[in-house]
Amino acid sequence: MTTVDLRPVLEVPERWRLGPAYVPKGRYIDPEFLQLELERLFPRTWLNACRFDEVERVGDYVNFEIGDQSIVVVRADTGLKAFFNACRHRGTRLVTDQGRIGEFRCPFHSWRWHLDGSLKFQADAAHFDPRPSHELCLAEVKVDTWGGWIFVNMDPNAEPLHDYLDPLPSRLKGYKLEDMRIAWYKSVIVNANWKTALEAFIESWHVPGTHPQLLRPDKRRSPATIAECESYGLTFNELFRYHSRHADVFRYGSEGDATKLRQTYGVNPEAIYTNVEYNLRELRSLYLPTDLGAAAELRTIPEAYGPDGNAIYQELRKKHARAAGIDYPELTQEQLKAGMYDWHVFPNTVFLVDMGTCLAYRTRPYRKDPDFCIFDVQGLWLPPKEGIETAKPERFDDWRDAGLGEILEQDFANMAEVTAGLHCLGYDGHHLNTLQEMTIYNYNRAIDEFLFGV
């Protein structure tokens, strides 16, 4: 299906105009730019609102808020529905947070609606001027699903979700994202623009400077040396119409080799065990709990210390996962090459996809302040035979209180410092590395399509 965009093409003001590998700072700190995003970007894009396991039963709902908009996703008898979260009488918000209900009831004058949005009860109906029935139903929002995520779009003329998401649905087919459940979920307020927070996770070039311990087998935390910075591997980047993807080149062989992953490369089983243990402790994601047992067994196999070590480890991961009743993915080298690792889903979501697990980030403007945002983090796992109880969001006004673990805390510590630097009179904007950071340029280019039609 092809849609025709009839929006006028507008001149991008010079203070916000992108240059070659350059993003002006006003796109992050100007209240006027944020207002345009709230008016023209978020209402016209497909937004990650929640996961399927948050609205599994009839009556389960999630209130999704972005800027000054509140949208409720609910499981009705007829399936998933999404509505603007406002009473059709005086505009009162009907629900908050998430939970389970049998009907929508306005707390102000007790009007009621069925879960499908149709009017159930209008208080003192005889004393209102007659209105068409559709004007009394809750106002609907487009809703669709992919990969276990539920997306909403406030634009009734929006293109279909699967077209918008291209190429993610084809690239990530077989990873069983739709079967993963939320193992943990935290939401924090961050002193940073929503794009600043997003950018910490759509490039990996910051690893030596921000996470030097990830380069070291013993996970020792101290500033990276110049040698470590210079020896850090490059990333493999792909830029699409709206979205982007990046992964470590070492997984893929030479740059530009798009056929398969590297078949063999040496591994250190002791370092693998330490890395899995560290990530499960500090991040609770990117590995399944069963991967620790696989890494422990790897240390007992002499052949694992040779060029086939990685292949042996991947088979052990599968064996231990399936022994726990996990429906572990069976993926070809081509699927692995096309799908792993880090996807930016435009405008404001990041998925870090691995075997049986995914780490999901979502950023949202906080009120109408360009210097603050809401940052949501979800750790997703394929469930073992005993299942996983879907985690409820834990909310924190200060990320330092959230217990996010060392890796994420290092990222968040940078964000307020970036915000301070953006306000510095001596700083004009981001001058980007043309190999490592063009994911940042790509999504800013896509933003201009929605804000200015260019």
Query: Can you read off the two tokens belonging to residue 442?
Result: 């790509």
Q: Is the dihedral of CA 78, 80, 83, 87 positive or negative?
A: positive
Count the Cβ atoms, other than its own, within 10 Å of residue 367: 10
Per-residue confidence in pLDDT tens, the chain, 454 aa = 444 454 556 799 999 999 999 999 999 999 999 999 999 999 999 999 999 999 999 999 999 999 999 999 999 999 999 999 999 999 999 999 999 999 999 999 999 999 999 999 999 999 999 998 889 999 999 999 999 999 999 999 999 999 999 999 999 999 999 999 999 999 999 999 999 999 999 998 888 899 999 888 889 889 889 988 887 777 778 999 999 998 776 555 444 454 444 554 557 899 999 999 999 999 999 999 999 999 999 999 999 988 888 889 999 999 999 999 999 999 988 888 888 889 999 999 999 999 999 999 999 999 899 999 999 999 999 999 999 999 999 999 999 999 999 999 999 999 999 999 999 999 999 999 998 899 999 999 999 999 999 7
Half-sphere exposure at residue 7, Cβ-oriented, CA atoms within 13 angstroms: 17
Q: Which amino acid is at 435?
A: L
Q: Which amino acid is at 275?
A: N
Burial class (CB in 10 A: 0-12, 13-18, 19+), 62: buried
State the residue for tokens 């979205």.
Answer: 243
Helix-helix angle 269-282:309-323, to 10 degrees:
50
pLDDT at residue number 1: 45
- Cβ neighbours for 277, distance < 8 A, ≥ 6 positions apart: 292, 295
pLDDT in tens, 408-424: 999 999 999 999 999 99
CA–CA separation, 263 and 6 (whole Å): 49
pLDDT at residue number 260: 45
Q: Which domains does the chain carry?
A: 47-157 (2.102.10.10), 174-262+327-452 (3.90.380.10)
Between CA 276 and CA 71, with CA 409 as vertex, the angle to 5 degrees is 100
pLDDT in tens, 19-49: 999 999 999 999 999 999 999 999 999 999 9
Q: Which residue, among 293, 279, 280, 296, has the nearest Cα to 326 in the 3D structure? A: 293
pLDDT at residue number 2: 45
* 167 preceded by a cis bond (ω within 30 of 0): yes
Q: Which residue, among 92, 95, 91, 90, has the nearest Cα to 74 in the 3D structure? A: 95
Query: Can you read off the two tokens belonging to residue 311?
Result: 């292949």
Strands 235-239 and 181-190: unpaired
CA–CA separation, 128 and 336 (whole Å): 61
pLDDT at residue number 258: 45
Query: Can you read off the two tokens belonging to residue 312?
Result: 């042996």
Is pTM beyond 0.95? Reply is no
* 347 preceded by a cis bond (ω within 30 of 0): yes
Q: Which residue, among 103, 111, 10, 97, has the nearest Cα to 54 in the 3D structure? A: 97
How many Å is the Cα radius of gyration of the chain?
A: 23
